Chain A
Amino acid sequence: MRFSTITSPHSARPNSVSRTMLLVILALLPGAAAMIWYFGWGVLINMILASVTAVACEALAVRLRNRPVLPVISDFSAVLTALLLAVALPPLLPWWLTVIGVAFAILMVKQIYGGLGYNPFNPAMAAYVLLLVSYPVQMTTWLPPEMLNEHPLTLLQSASVIFTGALPAGLSWDALTMATPLDAMFTQLDQSRMLSEILAQPLWGDFGGRGWEWVGNWYLLGGLFLLYKRVISWHIPVSMLGSLLVIAMLFHFLDQEAYPFGMFHIFTGGTLLGAFFIATDPVSACTTRKGQLVYGACIGLLVFIIRTWGGYPDAVAFAVLLMNMAAPTIDYYTQPRAFGHQGAGRD
């Protein structure tokens, strides 16, 4: 009898990239559902629009590169990028901005470098920054969370705003929108208002903005699921949240009226989404364990610095991109000690 030959190991592989991506998408769903609950149908429309655009762009690019399309599409990485960007976008963002963002993420940040695995930057965050820098007004036009929203829009109304820009009769943008808690906080702090005074406003919940903190909770839950499933390791989320918390608490302790308390930073903006879903993107993050601790801690630090003294309200995207650049260097200097060696890896 003749048999085919192949080198070891022969065992069936329990893991695959598409399984990994699907698990991340699954873990993102509770947070995404919470976003839809608190911020209306626009979020769902953005998610669908972004996903369709991402898959189309990916297919186009792969086709142009003369590679088989189906295996690439079915790794679900494009959909994940699209969803991560979509949940970071304002709910009523004009459709063409979503399309531009997603196309940029897939074509310019990912495929132009060689596709999955080769992109030095996190595609979703690069696209977010592109949109934020180019269209700051649209990108900071957020809706109030459900409990503060006096004019909730229906699905059709949301679609109409997104695709035609036409507001429902009798409504103005001013009536419809509201600054994000981060924006509100730092704008007012910049105006030298006291923290206690700011926090007296109805915008705030227990830790962060009302509604927002619940979205954060659901992201946290999804993140814990990823940890449980061992899709991500604890190193990046823990070091990122830890460093952010520590430095924020330190400053808050130094001046309780000028710097928000630590938990505020964790539960507002994109911190929890970033810690579990963005910073842990394996392609653009550090791969060594020690490196991941450094990487996460630096992101946390940068988030605090940019939020507190920077010009943009949220900082996760900038912090992640900056650390993406540093990742290869960090990896180089944090190699583990190989078995039977004296010093660290490079000896």
Chain B
Amino acid sequence: MQHSVQKQQKHTLYRFNGGLHLPENKSQSLKLPLEKAVLPKRLIVPLQQHIGEGAEPLVKVGDQVLKGDMLAKPHGYVSAPVHAPSSGTVVAVDILPIAHPSGLPAPCVVIETDGQERWGNQLEPMADYQHADLSLLRERIRNAGVVGLGGAAFPSSVKLTPGLENPIDTLIINGAECEPYITCDDLLMQTQAEKILIGVGIIRRLVGAGRCLFGIEDNKPEAIRRLRQAVAEAGLEWASIIAIPTLYPSGGEKQLIKVLTGREVPSGSIPAKIGMICHNVSTAFAIAEAVVEGRPLISRYVTVTGNGVRQPKNLEVLIGTPVAELIAQAGGYTGQVAKLIVGGPMMGFTLNSDEVPVTKATNCLLAADSNEAPDPGVAIACIRCGRCASACPANLLPQQMYWYARAKDLEKVQEYNLFDCIECGCCSHVCPSHIPLVQYFRFAKTESWAQEKEQRAAERARQRHEAQLARKERLEAERKAKLRQKKEALKKPAVQKPDAAKLDAGTVDAADAGDPKKAAIAAALQRAAEKKARLAEQGVEPKNQADLSEPQKQAIERVDKRRANSDANSVTSEKQGG
């Protein structure tokens, strides 16, 4: 084993700019054996736990559901189903508070559990997964509701369909878990190394990658050892388990790729553009469960930690379990609890109540005391010390961006590459003036999106207006032409009448032929519907605009203009037809 450890470490590693050495605080929750969370009386399953369209409910109040039954089906391409985490009765399909940074409630299915955990057995285990058809595998992963469990919760089946234009050569498996406090991936790697490798094998087949690099921070020696052992036992010569230096945020997708390969994902682009794809270890595990066991994604490992709970630990939790139940199982709150954070201290978001459920993306519940997550003091002026720039893993100039974000100069702040900011929080953490820099950047981003949307809407309205004017003019001209022709026809002998009508086929036909008109209407309606569907499909795009480069944005704008033009035209013809 030692030998292979040394062999593995020859892999050349690279550095990204900045990053922070943070107090790890991982040992508190790093305990084995892993406990299962107690089955709660009620499971609250949000319909949207992923990026993209929310799922469409398939159940109504009063329905009996079995464990693993699909509660809601995906709506659109970028979407994912949700499944019943346990058997029981649907008691509500309603808008309820969920764990979301916005703090807004969302549609959920509430199941009153019957305690029997009866399986619905909807998905068949795929024993021949190593030879199974790729599209079948993708469909399985989609039907099992697997989404990226590293935090973003992007539907995995979509990410596993990279497309022919981006051949993938390297699969990156993210086991960095760089945020302090969180240990659920560490424990997963320690306890489920074999199954993770099965999942990784499936992913590798699906994306057609040659090699596979695991990036794991070197503060998880046991996980690294277990995985290396499993790789050696399975004889997977394509997989390298690589220990990377512990440096926040090395678990960021682009940062991890840089560390492992030295290559940078181009700004506004995705890793597939440089032939790479990155998945989290726990996603690989969920994929293995879905394919090999036929188990949909209904549970996950969650770290419950912080000085605010008595017994920090990791739990295997059913999706939909209320946070309060997990806190209770971790010994309950201590007197010092000040904040309840979903995720880590650097990128997590706070909850105002523990009456919200765990979702697929919930990796950690951090009940922090006021030392771990103090209330931010008053921010004072920036002294331009540049520590933020030194810490920035995207090599940005946060102090300049702050200046322009504060002035609401959105153009300028984008010029300073606002949209390359990954909101890791390094700049805010090191700022001696305690300026909430990330907050300013989030603000600038949302303002920019809103502004862009507004501009597009205004542009479309203008084009519609112009098209309307043009149509009125044309109709007026046609009316006049018709009048003139009628006058001329009156002057001419009656015998020539049909000929005149033929000459002016367009107007006269429209006047007396019913069927072509209807056909035109139908065609226009169909065109509009198609367009609508296309737009709906592309409707997910704005959420990914953070990663768009300037030329891409311009391209989108051009397409939009074109689309608005044809939109206006189709509207015109529709109205004309009617």
Q: Interface on A for B, CB 8 Å cutoff?
A: 1-17, 19-20, 71, 75, 77, 114-118, 233, 282-283, 285, 287-289, 331, 335-341, 345-346
Contacts and interface: CB of A to CB of B under 8 A. Distances in A.
Contacts of B339: 3-6, 10
A13 B429 contact: yes
Interface of B: 16-17, 22, 101, 103, 180, 254, 258, 264-269, 324, 333, 337-341, 343, 345-354, 368, 371-376, 378, 380-387, 389-390, 393-397, 399-400, 415-417, 420, 423, 425, 428-434, 436, 438-439, 442
A282 B376 contact: no
Contacts of B374: 12
B504 to A, nearest CB: 58
A293 to B, nearest CB: 13
Contacts of B376: 6
B345 A339 contact: no
B276 to A, nearest CB: 13
A144 to B, nearest CB: 38
A8 B347 contact: yes
Nearest to A10: B373
Given A282-B386, A345-B397, A15 B353 contact: no
B352 A4 contact: yes
Contacts of A335: 397, 416
Contacts, number: 178
B294 to A, nearest CB: 37
B387 A15 contact: yes
Q: Which 7 A-B pairs have the closest CB atoms?
A: A9-B425, A117-B381, A10-B373, A340-B267, A287-B386, A282-B385, A5-B350
A339 B397 contact: no
B466 to A, nearest CB: 35
Given A8-B343, A338-B394, A340-B265, 8 more contacts: A3-B350, A4-B338, A7-B438, A8-B423, A8-B438, A117-B433, A336-B17, A345-B397
B269 A340 contact: yes
Contact of B350 (A1, A6, A114): A6
Nearest to B436: A7
Contacts of B389: 287-289, 336
Contact of A16 (B22, B386, B397, B434): B434
B352 A7 contact: no
Given A1-B353, A337-B395, A8 B432 contact: no
Contacts of A12: 371-374
Contact of A339 (B333, B372, B420, B430): B420
Contacts of B378: 71
A114 B416 contact: no
A11 B373 contact: yes
B350 A340 contact: no
A124 to B, nearest CB: 15
A345 B180 CA distance: 31
Contacts of B254: 339-340
Given A4-B350, A12-B372, A20-B432, A114 B381 contact: yes
Contact of A345 (B341, B417, B439): B417
B395 A339 contact: yes
Given A1-B354, A11-B372, A11-B373, A283 B338 contact: no
B346 A338 contact: no
B384 A340 contact: no
B447 to A, nearest CB: 15
B327 to A, nearest CB: 9
B374 to A, nearest CB: 5
A4 B352 CA distance: 6
A5 B381 contact: no
Contact of B380 (A116, A282, A289, A336): A116
Nearest to B443: A7
Residue from B180, B371, B428 with most neighbouring chain A CB atoms (10 Å): B428
Contacts of B416: 335, 345
Given A12-B372, A283-B383, A338-B396, A5 B264 contact: no
A346 B423 CA distance: 21
Given A8-B347, A117-B384, A288-B389, A13 B431 contact: yes
Contacts of B345: 8-11
Nearest to A339: B394
Nearest to A115: B381
A346 B428 CA distance: 24
Contacts of A6: 339, 350, 375-376
Contacts of B343: 8
Given A5-B352, A9-B429, A339-B17, A71 B380 contact: yes
Contacts of B347: 8-9
A57 B428 CA distance: 31
Given A8-B346, A233-B390, A346-B415, A283 B384 contact: yes
20 contacts: A1-B333, A4-B339, A9-B346, A9-B429, A10-B345, A10-B350, A10-B373, A11-B180, A11-B425, A13-B430, A14-B429, A16-B434, A17-B383, A20-B432, A287-B397, A289-B386, A289-B389, A339-B395, A340-B394, A341-B267
